[in-house]
Structure 1
Amino acid sequence: MEKIYYTIEEANLKIKYVEECVIKLMSLERAIRLLDSIEIQPRENNIEDEMMDVEFSLKYHRLNTEFYTLLGELLTKGILVRDLELGVVDFLSRHKDEEVYLCWEQGEKEIKYWHYAQDPFNSRRPISLLK
């Protein structure tokens, strides 16, 4: 896969799309966790119970497929979801021949921070240091 690098301006243009994706991923994750917490105990060994179990499994796997398809779509665009719970997303970028991440957190209107590729999210620095 060829890497995609973003300028600050290009990443800012993607924020609306990324925010919609993050909201969708959060919703899918909640639904998956809910289904994962449900334990179905068949009452009887009959076709109705077996069908209910199959339908439940299909729903669970469809949600997982949708979740990972969307996550993969973002990754192929050079966008990495770092922390879904906080809504932290990194855009792959370059600065002085070095890979860096432009860091966005849900609720922010534009890219305000960045960090080196090897550094964690909490070490992010103001975007003004890149200019």
Structure 2
Amino acid sequence: MKLFTIDEANVLLPELKQELYKLQVLIDDIDDRYLELQTIKAKHKLSPGTRGTMTDPYFEQESQLDFMRMEAELQISNFTRMGVLIKSISPGLLDFPAILEGKEVLLCWKQGEEQISHYHGWNEGFMGRRPYP
């Protein structure tokens, strides 16, 4: 497990903000396309003369969604490879494992904050966050 100092985590933050934004856009697109596909399927199911067709009319859309999901998983794994924990994609919450006063903690950043300035224990979560000394 990678451990960060607050300075190391803050240096990474601009890049992570950009990557998080790209991930959020992708997730929103996946959600929109999924809902659109479900609507199309529901309408198609109710249409007369749609029974007994041998081809899957949704194959292309479902394949695109699968590809987009794989892309999202890859983007998430990029955070993990860097040692950063994504606690929430939207709103963005990122945690950085660290040692503070001899204890394992998580430096935490919430989307909208300029820099990392808080931390919490591993079992406390966002509600237990405190200002970094």
Shorter-chain TM-score bucket reads 0.7 to 0.9
Correspondence for 2:19 among 9, 18, 21 = 21
Q: CA deviation at 1:46?
A: 5.8
Alignment of 1:6 with 2:11, yes or no, is no
The number of equivalent residue pairs is 123
Q: Distance in 1 between the 2:29 and 2:17 partners?
A: 18
Q: Give the counterpart of 1:111 among 111, 116, 120.
A: 116
**Code of the aligned partner of 1:23:** Y
Aligned-residue offset at 1:19? 0.4
Q: Which runs of 5+ in 1 are unaligned?
A: none
CA distance in 1, matches of 2:83, 2:127: 20
Distance 1:92 1:66 in 2: 25
Does residue 60 (structure 1) correspond to residue 65 (structure 2)? The answer is yes
Larger deviation, residues 34-43 vs 56-65: 34-43
Are residues 1:76 and 2:65 paired? no
Larger radius of gyration: 2
**TM-score for both structures, normalised by structure 2:** 0.83
Of all paired residues, the percent bearing the same amino acid is 24
- For normalisation by structure 1, the TM-score amounts to 0.85
Counterparts of 1:70 and 1:119, CA distance in 2:
26
Q: Structure 2: how far apart are the matches of 1:78 and 1:119? A: 19
For the aligned residue pairs, the C-alpha RMSD in angstroms reads: 1.7
SS at match of 1:90: strand
Task: Point out where structure 2 has 5 or more consecutive residues left out of the alignment.
Answer: none
